[in-house]
Amino acid sequence: MIAPLKRPNLLLLILLLFFFTAGCNDDDDSPESCELPFNEIAFAIAENADAGTVVGDASIVPPSGKEVSYSITSGNDGNTFGINTAGEISVLNNNLLDYEQRQQFELEIAVTAEGCTDGVVTAIINLLNEKDELYSDQFFENISKSELISYGPNGDDQVMYIYEPVGADQAPRPVLVFAGGGAFLPSNLDVLDNLARRFAGTGYVVALMRYISDPNRQMDPFERFVTAVHDVKAAIRFFRKDQDTDNLYNIDPDNIFVGGHGTGAFIALQAAYARADDFTPAQLELVNSYGGDEGERGNPGYSSSVNGVASLAGAIYDLNFIDAGEPPISCIHNVGDTDVNCEEGLEGSAIAYGSCRIIAHAESIGLDNQFSLLAGNSHGEPVVCADCHDKTMRFFLNYFK
C-alpha cells in the first residue's frame, strides 16, 4: 500500500507541476513562422505588344515588416518579360510575341523575403490573336443588309440575306452561313435578324439562308432532307466562288462557319458531318441520284468545308455521323424544349438526337465542343440568347485559320 503524501510534499508537487506546464506553454519568445505562398495567376496580352506594355501584377501580400523580392526563374524564353520590385510584369522584348508561332508563356517567379521560406508565383500569359479582339466584341454599329440574293439556280428556295459591317477594314472576313427554321416551310428569316447583326457587328459576313421548302409534303422525307443539305453546301460554296471571282463580299475562304435553328440546325449538322459512308445502301442510292455528297444545287467546283458548327435547338439523325477530328460544335438548347427534345425524340418517323446527346457524344470522342443549356421549355430562346451567341463567337475564335 502506497503511503499518502504529507501536506508539505503535496504542495511542493503541485507547484512544480504548475511551473513545468507554464514553461511548456510559454512560446512568446519563439520565432514567428513565415512561409511565402505558391500562387497561380493568368493574364492575356495582344500578340506583338510593344516593349514596355504592362502585362499584370504578380505581387503577393507581404508578411508584416518584410520586404519581398521577385525574380523570373524559368519560362522566359527570349527574355520576353521582366518583373520590377513591386511584382509588376511587363514586356521587355516582343520578338517572340507571335500568335501563329506560340500562344502561351508560363513564367515561374521566385518570391523571397528575409527570414521566410521561398514562395513561387506561376504566371500564365496567353497571347491574343490579332483577330480575337475584332471578332469577339461589338465594333460596328452600322450593319448593311442586302435584298434577297440568289445563291443557286432554284428560285425562291435558294435565296439569302447577307449582312456586312459598314466601315470594316479591308482584311478578308469570316463567314457565318445560317439556316432558318420552319419545318420545310419557307423560313421567316426576320426572327434571326438580331443574331445576324450581332455576328456582323464583330466583323463577320453573315448569310441568313432559305432552303428547299415542301409545304404540301409532296417529297419523300429523306429526299427533302438531302436536298436541303445540298442547299446549305451550295450556299457555302457561293461565298468561296465569289471570293474567287467577283469578290463582292471580301470573305476569308479559310474561315467559314455554318449554323442553324430548329430544322435549319438539323440541316447544318448533317451538312457538316454526314458523308456517303454514313448512309444505308438504299439511302446512298438516293443521295447519289441527287449528285452525291455535294449535290447539284449550284456553285460546283468549290469546297463546302467549314471550321465549326453552331446548332440552336437542333438534332442529328445519327450520332455516329460525328467523328473525331471533324469541325468543333457549339450547341444552345433549352432543357425542356418541347419541339426538339434535348435528349432524343421522334422527328417524323425517325429518332433524332438533340444537343444533350450530341455534346455527350462529342465529349466521348474528344471533339471540341461548347454547350449552353438553358432552363425552361422554349424552342425559340436560343435565337435570342445574346450571351450564348457571344460565347459561340469566342469559341469559334479558337478555330480561325
Please indicate whether residue 161 or residue 216 has the higher confidence score (pLDDT): 161
38-128 shares its CATH topology with 143-397: no
* Side-by-side strand order, sheet with 54-57: 54-57, 88-91, 81-83
Q: Whose CA is closest to 45, among 81, 83, 84, 87?
A: 81
Domain chopping of the chain, boundaries: 38-128, 143-397
Q: What is the average per-residue pLDDT within 36-62?
A: 88
Q: What is the pLDDT of residue 136?
A: 64
For the chain, the average pLDDT equals 87
Retrieve residue 279's grid coordinates: 448512309
Strand (E) positions, 204-286?
205-209, 251-261
Q: Which pLDDT belongs to residue 231?
A: 96
Q: Given a cut of 70, is residue 169 above it in pLDDT? A: no
Closest Cα partner for 273 from 235, 351, 326?
326
End-to-end CA distance of the chain: 95
Going by pLDDT thresholds of 50, 70 and 90, the confidence category of residue 27 is very low
Q: Quick one: pLDDT at residue 32? A: 58
Averaged pLDDT, 95-120: 91
For the purposes of burial, counting CB atoms within 10 Å of the CB of 235, is it exposed (0-12), middle (13-18) or buried (19 or more)? buried
Tell me, what's the pLDDT at 101? 85
Could you say which DSSP state residue 2 is in?
P
Beta-carbon contacts of 397 under 8 Å, excluding residues fewer than 6 positions away, are 129, 131, 132, 135, 136
* Percent over 90 (pLDDT), the chain: 63
Mean pLDDT of 141-163: 93
Packing angle, helices 386-397 and 193-200, rounded to 10: 40
Residue 109, strand partner residues: 72, 121
Q: Tell me, what DSSP letter sits at residue 134?
A: T
Which secondary-structure segment (H or E) carries 325? none
Average pLDDT over residues 293-311: 96
What pLDDT is stored for residue 26 in this prediction? 46
Residue 285: how many other CB atoms lie within 10 Å: 10
- pLDDT bin (cut points 50, 70, 90) of residue 16 is very low
Q: Model confidence at 13, in pLDDT bands (50, 70, 90)? A: very low
Contact (CB, 8 A) for 265 and 256: no
pLDDT tens for residues 206-217? 999 999 887 777
| Mean pLDDT of the region 219-226 | 85
Question: In the prediction, which pLDDT does 45 show?
Answer: 85
pLDDT at position 303 over 50: yes
Q: Report d(CA 53, CA 339) in Å as an integer.
A: 52
How far is the C-alpha of 103 from the C-alpha of 97, rounded, in Å?
8
Mean pLDDT of 40-57: 88
What's domain 143-397's superfamily in CATH?
Answer: Alpha/Beta hydrolase fold, catalytic domain (3.40.50.1820)
Average pLDDT estimate for 243-253: 96
Tracing cell 446527346 back to the chain, one arrives at 357
Least confident range from 218-222, 314-318, 367-371: namely 218-222
- Rounded Cα distance, 277 and 116, in Å: 66
Would you state the pLDDT for residue 220? 81
Give the model's confidence band at 224: pLDDT under 50 very low, under 70 low, under 90 confident, else very high.
confident
Query: What local confidence, expressed as pLDDT, does residue 168 receive?
Result: 67
Q: What is the pTM of this model?
A: 0.68
Exposed / middle / buried, residue 355 (Cβ in 10 Å: 0-12, 13-18, 19+) = buried
- Per-residue pLDDT band at 349 (split at 50, 70, 90): confident
The answer, yes or no, to whether residue 173 has pLDDT greater than 80, is yes
152-155 long-range contacts (CB < 8 A, ≥24 apart) are 152/231, 152/234, 152/235, 152/238, 152/297, 152/298, 152/299, 153/297, 153/298, 154/212, 154/297, 154/298
Between 2 and 375, the higher pLDDT residue: 375
Tell me the mean pLDDT in the region 153-170: 87
CA–CA distance, 16 with 10 (Å, rounded to integer): 10
The CATH number for 38-128, chosen from 3.20.20.70, 1.10.287.130, 1.10.390.10, 2.60.40.60, is 2.60.40.60
Residue 51 has a pLDDT of 93
Q: Name the grid cell of 94.
A: 516582343
Query: What is the number of residues in the chain?
Result: 401
Position 74 scores a pLDDT of: 96
